[in-house]
Structure 1
Amino acid sequence: MKLKPIVAVFSLSLLAACTIHNSERASRPQSTAVHPSLVAMEEVTADQPQQPVPDPAKRRYEMKLMAQPVAGINASIRPPSEPLDRENYAHFKDNPLKRAAEFPVSTFSIDVDSASYANLRRILNEGRLPPMDAVRVEEMINYFNYEDVAAEQRDTPFGITTEIAANPWNPETKLLRIGIKAWQPRQSEMPPANLVFLVDVSGSMHSPDKLPLLKRSLRLLSRSLDADDRVSLVVYAGASGVVLEPTPGNQRATIEQALQQLSAGGSTNGGAGIRLAYAKAREAFIEGGINRAILATDGDFNVGTVNHQALIDLIKQQRQAGIALTTLGFGGGNYNDHLMEQLADQGDGNYAYIDSLMEARKVLVRELGATLQTVAKDVKIQIEFNPEHVTVYRLVGYENRLLAREDFNNDKVDAGEIGAGHSISALYEISLSGSTGQRIEPLRYAQGQVKSAGKSDELAFLKLRFKHPGETESELIETPILASQIVQDLSSSSDDFRFAAAVAAFGQSLHGGKYLKDMGYDEMIELARGARGNDPDGERAEFVRLLGLARDLSPMKPQANFEQTATVP
């Protein structure tokens, strides 16, 4: 089926809409502070009118998407139903290039959240390109599992893998991948869990992709529990209440009946619900077990506390008492991504977005241990580059996880948690001495010669600091990264390396593509398709499909905005 005229009409319409949206957005001030929705947000009712989609445009849209190859999971495509302009995302800029002779040390907190990828998949499947600030590259990369070497015992909770190979979006630079694989206990070794489902039943949760999907998702999770586990159910809307007192996990009929009776309606008082959920978690607290509140909402709520700091202080206090907070996001149109991420970060939990029952199965069944059981907390990474070999570097992603150099050794500084079996990757783009890759002009008054670092084969030195759950003092893991590890030919690198590079390129392109040079979607598709490797659940194949969808939704090929010379702030 030839769709070029249709694609042209659709692309012009989309370009015009994006231009209007971006101009409106540019006029609004951006802030990375705690969003005022923690104090008050506009109420949303279930009968709020949706933006109409003209029938001819809708038919052209559906014809175009039906022509796409279907691969992997979540193949259902939905036409857009609500505008994105009420969705809230924290603004951030790409990490800049840094000169190793001036800034040899890079420090950041790990991030195991995966919400950004599932959310942008939802937006793409609705026929839109996501807002730039909805794209967090590290969450896209860490959505996928990688076959790195895992720790064999809990005393050392994770293994570390490092790879260096050619960079697919700039052949004059190299790409360094740091892979962390957490210890994975057997199912029988998981401690008992005390879970409190905190469910938003306000009017904004009425649509099928919100409360109905939420109920089916929590039903899947409940079927993975046994008699040693405890489940409570708290709801909040105009008022909060307990629907299910702490109940043994093997009483599935009772748990499912409580979930089934939930319905949406009214305004939202999320803060009162959180306080009640924590009270139930304390009531059923399991010493030495998993104690966690799971907040399921679209994030569009008034918290009902004196101010936003009161809510943050409450979450921190309960975190220190051993009760973590996980956030599960649902729906769109009024979605508050910024708030959902903040709450999970403060609660030593993780943040996932549920756009389908298949995603619920991934997060709440297949990766249940990673979602619920923390094996290491306050995990920080610090890498020191050897300026004798590395001239310029750039961390890809993790923009809102950066730490000061001195924070690495400060055990009072909070950082990210790793769940059982989690895979985490971090990518650095590096320019080697003598290459013609990314360059930053040296300082006028800097010394002309770089002193030898003393280890001639070391490109960098990696440090990883973490705490065991319940401990207050951190432990340190160190390993050198050697020049002898460099794989000159990208095709000779591992499937995991090439796939992570393709995901990173896609994420960067959706966030403006400043450093991509002229790499386009066709090159990304070819790279990802050849690196699918072992893909039992079809997630990598689905990623290839999403690349093709984004290519067809884009008004033009991603353009290079690459600068050979940059200024380091």
Structure 2
Amino acid sequence: MSDELKRLERALSSAPAPEAEVKSGHLKAALDGFDQRQAADQESNAEPRLSGEGRDDIRSRPRSPRRDASMNRSLSHSPSHRRPLHRRPSVAAAASLAALSLGLYLLWPQAQDFDAMTGPEPSQDAEMAVSPPRTASKPESAPESTEGERLAIVASKTGPVADQMAGDMPLDTAVVTAVETESKSAGQVTQLAEAPRLSVSRSSSLSSSPSTSLSPSISMEMRGLMPSQEVARIAPLPSPGPSVQVPTATSEAYPEFDASSVRVTAETPVSTFSVDVDTASYAVVRSSLMQGQLPPPQAVRIEEMINYFGYDYPQPDAEAFRPMVDVFASPWNPERQLVRVALQGRAATPGPRSPVNLVLLIDTSGSMRSPDKLPLLKRSMALLLGELNDDDEVAIVTYAGSAGVALAPTGASNTEEIMQALESLAPSGGTAGEAGLSQAYRLAGQMNGEDETTRVLLATDGDFNLGLSDPEALERFIADRREGGVYLSVLGFGRGNLDDAVMQSLAQYGNGQAAYIDSLAEAQKVLVDQLAASLEPIANDVKVQVEFNPARVQEYRLIGYETRALRREDFRNDRVDAGDIGAGHQVTALYEIAPVGSSAALTRPSRYQQGQQVTGGQHDELGHVALRYKVPGESQSRLIETPISPGVTTADSEASFAAAIAGFGQLLGDDRYLGDWGWDEAIALAEASKGKDRYGYRAEAVRLMRLAGGLSDR
């Protein structure tokens, strides 16, 4: 390159000096011709060319208005011009060669870096066409923008593209949106410069090379995704910097509660709670850990983590479910004991089940845009449809800024029609939860028939920002409508604005269950494997009351169930709502107790209570378990009772795994009662008690424990 420049320098120095008058005339003639040709190009909408012969080379280089004004002033004071420009071929050739050489010299390093970053071209014949700007109707009146203003404009145009790279919209949609935005603001049609199609992965950064990186505006500009007037400028690449994960703003809400504490049996011998078959908490915990973060403490509900897993419990004989009670040593303190209270719901009724009416109440608000929300919801519903019978019916109600019926009641056999209605849904607007719930309940009431099960299935991220946004108001709203026999279950999707508190309240007061869907595999578990439990209720308002014997038990604490606690008098009050159980559902609750005289007791007996007598029952019993439930359709509860017999048994694999998950939850939340027992012990216990693990859920739990232990050590 240096030899060429030297030859160019010698050629320029040997050329004869032009006459000022002749030179001025030549330049004016050239500029007049250029203006005439440019006006012709505008009228014919012909695209200017980058390369050509003669004066086309001059037209391909954009000139600023400031430089045009300077030239016009110099020409206005120069003598007349008579001789054409082509009579000086050596000067013209030398000028063209100088401009070309200078351009190659300036652009060559940036082009090399750009090629290294973007990778090879799709084919050898592919070319990147860099077009000069299309001139507006009055270019000389356009003010010259500053560099900061230009970059701000570019950044505003790349917004849709950046949204696509985060997974919010397809690439083609993002590009079109950017162009439409520019066209509307400028009042004219803007063309995209041609470039090879860009394939974007949401997990990759803008720079695919470890040594180079581009700002969003420059990178999109150089890939040909911006309008042509922005493509003409190629900026030097910024220096590389460290990879930083930008924190995501969150407005998630979880139920507020204090972890269960130790109760002195002599002071408070009775513990009462509602059963809980929800599994949302475990899936939320898994979602957080898989994102490399520990879950929020309030998102950890230990009973939902324990009940996420299936256990090998014996089937009931005649009743809707069978209680089972046993006592074994606590894994984190051998001087203390765990009391397991387990319920096994009867299996689904053999043979054809009664028809089911499903109203899919789908949140289509703007907050449902991301791939783990509405797109995942559609694929999850497709799994559900494959499990319905021909005599079942499906309807779809959507709500965003307002509510509407997207699909009237339709036979489940019309899968194509139902799927078309689902695929047509698009996110936009606010979240009018009250309007959507009202519309769904009205439609469900019309569909409900004799000996049929009707359920509203709400799919949302929990963001109720219009209508009834207060949890207590929502509870009253649902409670007023559950008496009609329509159940409400809730499926949560996505993170960032997950309102778990609202979801849990809706499910509790709607006589349904709450689950969180973080993957298609979880949708398979909830909507396919456990569908019978969701569609065939076997017991309503199930309550558990445990009374411990103060002569045998010094203290106790219930692990979990903080949000399900009931008052002692609520147990016999059939007007108080509680959890429901479906066919095949299981419920497990763990109490940790310290026997009287145990060195592991955290409290000491009161001075004036040491000589108290136990009245009624057996003096050697550790306690007594009572359960109340209603048969669906009945208003009066039934009672089941069983004693807690003395004696410590060896924990089987089912009890040990439940204890390991209880320890997992305490390590994530409140671990004050675990002593020196930590992640290594929890992992070892869970690993040793995985059992058959047909679907690998327990093995996954072990992996999550290892991940949580690593995150806790940071």
Identify the TM-score tier after normalising by the shorter chain: 0.7 to 0.9
* TM-score of the two chains, using structure 2 as the length reference: 0.65
SS in 2 for 1:483: coil
Q: Are 1:166 and 2:329 matched, yes or no?
A: yes
Which position in structure 1 is the counterpart of 2:670?
A: 512
**2: CA distance, partners of 1:260 / 1:288:** 32
State the Cα RMSD in Å: 2.5
Aligned-pair CA distance for 1:451: 1.5
**2: CA distance, partners of 1:381 / 1:520:** 30
- Structure 1: gaps spanning 5 or more residues: 1-45, 61-78, 557-569
| Worse overlay, 212-221 or 84-93 | 84-93
Q: What letter matches 2:261 in structure 1?
A: P
> For 1:497, which of 640, 649, 655 is the aligned residue?
655
**2: CA distance, partners of 1:254 / 1:93:** 48
**2: CA distance, partners of 1:55 / 1:312:** 44
- 1:305–1:554 distance in 2 versus 1, CA, 3 Å: closer
**1: CA distance, partners of 2:503 / 2:471:** 13
**1: CA distance, partners of 2:642 / 2:268:** 20
- 1:293–1:165 distance in 2 versus 1, CA, 3 Å: same
- Structure 2: gaps spanning 5 or more residues: 1-161, 168-201, 211-243
Q: Are 1:244 and 2:402 matched, yes or no?
A: no
* TM-score of the two chains, using structure 1 as the length reference: 0.81
> For 2:437, which of 260, 266, 274 is the aligned residue?
274
Q: Are 1:554 and 2:712 matched, yes or no?
A: yes
**2: CA distance, partners of 1:447 / 1:311:** 45
**1: CA distance, partners of 2:546 / 2:352:** 34
> For 1:93, which of 253, 258, 265 is the aligned residue?
258
Among the aligned pairs, what percent are the same residue? Answer: 48
CA contact (8 A) 1:148 1:160 kept: no
Q: What is the count of residue pairs matched by the alignment?
A: 484
**1: CA distance, partners of 2:250 / 2:524:** 29
Aligned-pair CA distance for 1:442: 3.1
CA contact (8 A) 1:164 1:175 kept: yes
Which position in structure 1 is the counterpart of 2:128?
A: none
Q: Are 1:345 and 2:508 matched, yes or no?
A: yes
| Worse overlay, 144-153 or 243-252 | 144-153
| Worse overlay, 446-455 or 351-360 | 446-455
Which position in structure 2 is the counterpart of 1:120?
A: 285
**2: CA distance, partners of 1:380 / 1:407:** 9
**2: CA distance, partners of 1:201 / 1:242:** 12
SS in 1 for 2:357: strand
SS in 2 for 1:117: helix
CA contact (8 A) 2:471 2:505 kept: no
Aligned-pair CA distance for 1:190: 2.7
Q: Which has the higher contact order (CA 8 A, sep 6+)?
A: 1
> For 1:523, which of 653, 677, 681 is the aligned residue?
681
Give per-residue Cα distances to partners, 1:286-310, cap 9 Å, x unaligned.
2222111011010112242497655
> For 2:566, which of 403, 411, 414 is the aligned residue?
403
**1: CA distance, partners of 2:656 / 2:628:** 27
> For 1:448, which of 579, 585, 610 is the aligned residue?
610
Give per-residue Cα distances to partners, 1:482-533, cap 9 Å, x unaligned.
113x12xxxx411110000000001011112121111111100110011111
**2: CA distance, partners of 1:181 / 1:431:** 27
**1: CA distance, partners of 2:587 / 2:626:** 15
SS in 1 for 2:671: coil
Which position in structure 2 is the counterpart of 1:322?
A: 485
Aligned-pair CA distance for 1:390: 0.8
Which position in structure 2 is the counterpart of 1:65?
A: none
Alignment of 1:404-423 (within 5 A): 404-423=567-586
CA contact (8 A) 1:50 1:81 kept: no
- 1:248–1:430 distance in 2 versus 1, CA, 3 Å: same
**1: CA distance, partners of 2:548 / 2:563:** 21
Give per-residue Cα distances to partners, 1:400-420, cap 9 Å, x unaligned.
111111111111111110111
| Worse overlay, 447-456 or 368-377 | 447-456
- 1:283–1:384 distance in 2 versus 1, CA, 3 Å: same
Which position in structure 2 is the counterpart of 1:201?
A: 364
Alignment of 1:141-540 (within 5 A): 141-153=306-318, 156-186=319-349, 188-305=351-468, 311-444=474-607, 446-453=608-615, 455-484=618-647, 486-487=648-649, 492-540=650-698
CA contact (8 A) 1:80 1:126 kept: no
Aligned-pair CA distance for 1:226: 1.2
- 1:303–1:431 distance in 2 versus 1, CA, 3 Å: same
Which position in structure 2 is the counterpart of 1:545?
A: 703
